[in-house]
Amino acid sequence: MGSSEQHRRYRRRAPGWRVLVPVVCLVTGVGFAAAARDSRGTDLRAPGVTNLADTVRSAETRVRSLDAELQRLQAQASAAARAAGRDDSAVAAVQARVSSLLQPGGLTAVHGPGLKVILDDAPDVDDSDPAEDNQRLVHQSDLQAVVNALWAGGAEAMSIAGQRVIATSAVRCVGPTLLLNGEVFSPPYRVAAIGPSATMQSKLSSSPGVTEFREAAGYYGLGYTVETDDDLHLPAYTGPVSLSYARPGR
Residue 114: strand, helix, or coil: strand
Higher pLDDT, 185 or 27: 185
pLDDT at 22 over 60: no
Q: Which is nearest to 76 in space by CA: 84, 64, 65, 86? A: 84
pLDDT at 23 over 90: no
DSSP category for residue 195: S
Q: What is the mean pLDDT of the chain?
A: 78
In our burial notation (b when 16+ CB lie closer than 10 A, e otherwise), range 128-153 reads eeeeebeebbbeeebbebbbbbbbeb
pLDDT at 13 over 50: no
Q: What is the pLDDT averaged over residues 192-207?
A: 97
> How buried is residue 195: exposed, middle or buried, by Cβ count under 10 Å (0-12/13-18/19+)?
buried
Higher pLDDT, 184 or 240: 184
pLDDT of residue 229: 96
Among 34-38, 96-100, 227-231, the range with the most confident prediction by mean pLDDT is 227-231
pLDDT of residue 152: 97
Domain boundaries, the chain: 1-44, 54-102, 110-234
| Number of neighbours of residue 207 by Cβ within 10 angstroms | 19
pLDDT at 97 over 90: no
* 247/234 Cα distance (integer angstroms): 36
Q: Which is nearest to 133 in space by CA: 142, 141, 123, 143? A: 123
* 106/168 Cα distance (integer angstroms): 11
Q: What is the pLDDT averaged over residues 177-204?
A: 92
The dihedral region occupied by 39, where left means phi > 0, alpha psi between -120 and 50, and beta the remainder, is alpha
Match domain 110-234 to its CATH number in 3.30.70.1880, 3.40.1260.20, 3.30.2020.30, 3.10.450.50: 3.30.70.1880
Whether the ω angle into residue 208 lies within 30 degrees of 0, i.e. cis, is no
pLDDT at 11 over 70: no
Q: Band the pLDDT of 4: cuts 50, 70, 90.
A: very low
pLDDT of residue 163: 93
Quick: pLDDT tens for 107-161: 899 999 999 999 999 987 665 666 677 888 999 999 999 999 999 999 999 999 9
* 222/137 Cα distance (integer angstroms): 7
pLDDT of residue 170: 86
User: Nearest 5 degrees, angle CA 81-CA 87-CA 90?
Assistant: 80
